[in-house]
Structure 1
Amino acid sequence: MLAQEFPGCRQLIDAIDEAVSQPSTQAITDSLRHSLCRLIRAREVQLPDCVYETAKGRYARRELYCSEEHGYCVVAMTWGPGQGTPIHDHCGMWCVEGVWSGELEVTQYERLADDQGQCRFQPVGSIQAGPGSAGSLIPPHEYHTIRNPSEDVVAVSLHIYSGQMTHCAIFQPAAEAQCYERHDRQLGLDPLH
């Protein structure tokens, strides 16, 4: 279901529909990454103006489309200067994330063995991603942070999830050094207007 019409929305949906018909998760995410990079760089898709509006004190999430046929969901996220996430997962869902405007710093983590209810993570790579770049997360390699490193520029990213992402696990630093406590977080959506 399309939340709001925008120029190029049919091209975006057709590209995602074609990708999700691939035979494996790896093939789906590879196809989506390539399609998303191409669509962002070609500038044939113009996201609704509201996706450039920040939310006070947190990043904004706006659902643009949810496929009744295939189950996937397309969410635009708006990152004000310095806004970001704690280490989090995607509750077992694959995801392809593309930077639409601005820059984002994405750091991936490998979850190490848990110790008495405390989680340990090891950073395995960090990238500065600019417009037209995209990456994918496939469980169990889904732990990451996203942050807008700019002091004055808003960043917008497009996230395609295998299903509706209504919650996730976040990991907050614990009292013990290099340990994190797991918390469930409900994820809301900001209105499209």
Structure 2
Amino acid sequence: MLTIEFPGCHALIGVIDAAVAQGALPAITDQLRHALCRLIRSDTLQLPPCVFEPAAGRYARRELYRSDTLGYSVVAMTWAPGQGTLIHDHAGMWCVEGVCSGELEVTQYDPLDSRADRYRFQPVGAIQAGPGSAGSLIPPHEYHTIRNPSEDTIAVSLHIYAGAMTHCAVFEPLPEDSWYVRRERALGLDPVH
């Protein structure tokens, strides 16, 4: 179901449908990563103006498309200067993330230890991702943070999830030590207009 028409939306849906039809996870995410980079770099994909409007105090999430047949969803995220996430997972779903404008800092983490709802993590790599770059997450390698490091520029990223991303686990740092506490977080959607 297409939420809003925008230039390149049908090309985007076509490449996602073709990739998801592959069936095997590494093939899906590899094909999607390369296709998303091509679409963004060629200016074929021109997201609707509303995705460049940040939300106060948090990043914005706007669902642009959900496939009734294949189940995946496409969400544009808007990051005001300095906005970012806690360490979080994707509730066991694969994801391909591409930067459409601005720059994002993405840091991946490996879990080191867990005790009940407490976790310890180790950062295993960080990248500065600019327009036309894309990455993928395949569980169990899904723990990461995303942050707009700019002091004055909005960033927009496009996220293709295996399904509707309605919740995830976030990991809040405990002030007294190097542990994080796991909390379930419901994920809402901002309006698309």
TM over 0.5: yes
Aligned partner of 1:100 in structure 2 is 100
Instruction: For residue 107 of structure 2, give the secondary structure of its aligned residue in structure 1.
Output: strand
Structure 1: gaps of 5 or more residues: none
Aligned partner of 1:151 in structure 2 is 151
Aligned-partner Cα distance in 1 for 2:31–2:117: 38
Aligned partner of 1:45 in structure 2 is 45
Aligned partner of 2:7 in structure 1 is 7
* TM-score under structure 2 length normalisation: 0.98
Aligned-partner Cα distance in 1 for 2:117–2:64: 37
Q: Alignment RMSD, CA only?
A: 0.8
Aligned partner of 2:89 in structure 1 is 89
Kindly provide the CA deviation profile for residues 44-78 of structure 1, in whole angstroms up to 9, marking residues without a partner as x: 11110000000000000000000001000000000
Instruction: For residue 120 of structure 1, give the secondary structure of its aligned residue in structure 2.
Output: strand
Aligned ranges 1:1-193 → 2 under 5 Å? 1-193=1-193
Shift of the 8–116 alpha-carbon distance from structure 1 to 2, 3 Å rule, reads: closer
Instruction: For residue 61 of structure 2, give the secondary structure of its aligned residue in structure 1.
Output: strand
Q: Aligned residues: percent identity?
A: 70
Number of positions where the alignment pairs a residue of Structure 1 with one of Structure 2: 193
* Structure 1 residue 175, shift from structure 2 partner: 3.7
Kindly provide the CA deviation profile for residues 65-99 of structure 1, in whole angstroms up to 9, marking residues without a partner as x: 00001000000000000000000000000000000
* Structure 1 residue 118, shift from structure 2 partner: 1.4
Runs of 4+ in 1 over 4 A off after TM superposition: none
Shift of the 175–5 alpha-carbon distance from structure 1 to 2, 3 Å rule, reads: same
* TM-score under structure 1 length normalisation: 0.98
* Structure 1 residue 2, shift from structure 2 partner: 0.1
Structure 2: gaps of 5 or more residues: none
Residue type at the aligned position of 1:178: S
Kindly provide the CA deviation profile for residues 103-128 of structure 1, in whole angstroms up to 9, marking residues without a partner as x: 00000000122035310100000000
Residue type at the aligned position of 1:99: V
Residue type at the aligned position of 1:107: T
Residue type at the aligned position of 1:64: L
Shift of the 117–44 alpha-carbon distance from structure 1 to 2, 3 Å rule, reads: closer
Aligned-partner Cα distance in 2 for 1:24–1:116: 33
* Structure 1 residue 23, shift from structure 2 partner: 3.1
Aligned-partner Cα distance in 1 for 2:123–2:45: 34
Aligned-partner Cα distance in 1 for 2:176–2:70: 43
* Structure 1 residue 178, shift from structure 2 partner: 1.1
Instruction: For residue 19 of structure 1, give the secondary structure of its aligned residue in structure 2.
Output: helix
Residue type at the aligned position of 1:128: Q
Question: Higher mean Cα deviation, 102-111 or 15-24?
Answer: 15-24
Question: Higher mean Cα deviation, 109-118 or 139-148?
Answer: 109-118
Kindly provide the CA deviation profile for residues 115-168 of structure 1, in whole angstroms up to 9, marking residues without a partner as x: 353101000000000000000000000000000000000000000000000000
